[in-house]
Amino acid sequence: MDIRRLDKKLSVSPQISAGDLVAIYATGFRTLICNRPDGEEPAQPDFEEIETAAKNTGLETRHLPVTSGMVSDKDVAEFEQALRELPGPVFAYCRSGMRSAILWALSQARHKSSSEILGTARAAGYDLGKIEQRIANVANATSNADGFHSMGNAPYIPHEHFSGQFLIRRS
């Protein structure tokens, strides 16, 4: 098992098996978040199998599946909410840990500097340079009454799926 700590509340990891859950609990984790959709790979254990084993060890669980390369603003909001609501420390996983690290990075963008987020991720083995601009956009965004977000003078609508781009609405 390859556990990579991002902060005091969250560590991430590549795919785990049901047999890893006793060790995860013994390490002190209290919640397990799976960011991987079922059936992504043939040999991957289904979340139901992981969830049953996790509950038997005393871990709380949440399934927040995200398709690789498609992290939406909704996914980030759900991840951030789970981190607030669930007991910590939290152990999140996906195929490589990258989606979980991206969700963490974007959920922290309003609370930490881009350099701190990128440095923490890099130290954990995740290069998030490709989403650096998105992290900055989230950090600088504020909602207005129309449900749009402001980036200085140019309102934008966050793209539903992560492509690193935003739709710009010009007045």
Q: What is the pLDDT of residue 150?
A: 40
Give residue 144's pLDDT: 40
Total of domains in the chain:
1
Is position 30 within any domain? yes
Q: Answer whether residue 145 is part of any domain.
A: no
Confirm whether 130 is domain-assigned. yes
φ, ψ of residue 13 in degrees (nearest 5):
-160, 155
Mean of pLDDT values over 10-33:
96
pLDDT exceeding 70 applies to what percent of the chain?
82
Residue 166 belongs to some domain of the structure: no
Q: Which residues of 87-112 are buried (b: 16+ CB within 10 A; e: fewer)?
A: ebbbbbbbbbbbbbbbbbbbbbbeeb
39 vs 171: CA distance, rounded Å: 44
What pLDDT band is residue 156 in, cutting at 50, 70 and 90? very low
Task: Give residue-wise pLDDT tens across range 36-67.
Answer: 999 999 989 999 999 999 999 999 999 999 99
- SS3 of 20-62: the string is HHHHHHHCCCCEEEECCCCCCCCCCCCHHHHHHHHHHHCCEEE
What is the pLDDT, as a whole number, of residue 141?
A: 77
**pLDDT classification of 3: cutoffs 50, 70, 90:** very high
Q: Which two tokens stand for residue 135?
A: 């992290």
CATH number at residue 82: 3.90.190.10
Alpha-carbon distances of 30 from 24, 33, 136, 157, rounded to whole Å: 9, 10, 31, 36
* Chain segment 111-144, per-residue pLDDT in tens: 898 999 999 999 999 999 999 999 988 888 754 4
- Which residues form the domain of 132? 4-139
Whether the predicted model's global pTM rises above the 0.85 cut = no
Summarize pLDDT for 71-119 with one digit per residue, the tens: 999 999 999 999 999 999 999 999 999 999 999 999 999 889 899 999 9
| Residue 64 domain-assigned (yes or no) | yes
- Supply angle C-alpha 99, 102, 103, rounded to 5: 85
% of the chain surpassing 90 pLDDT: 73
SS3 state at 75: helix
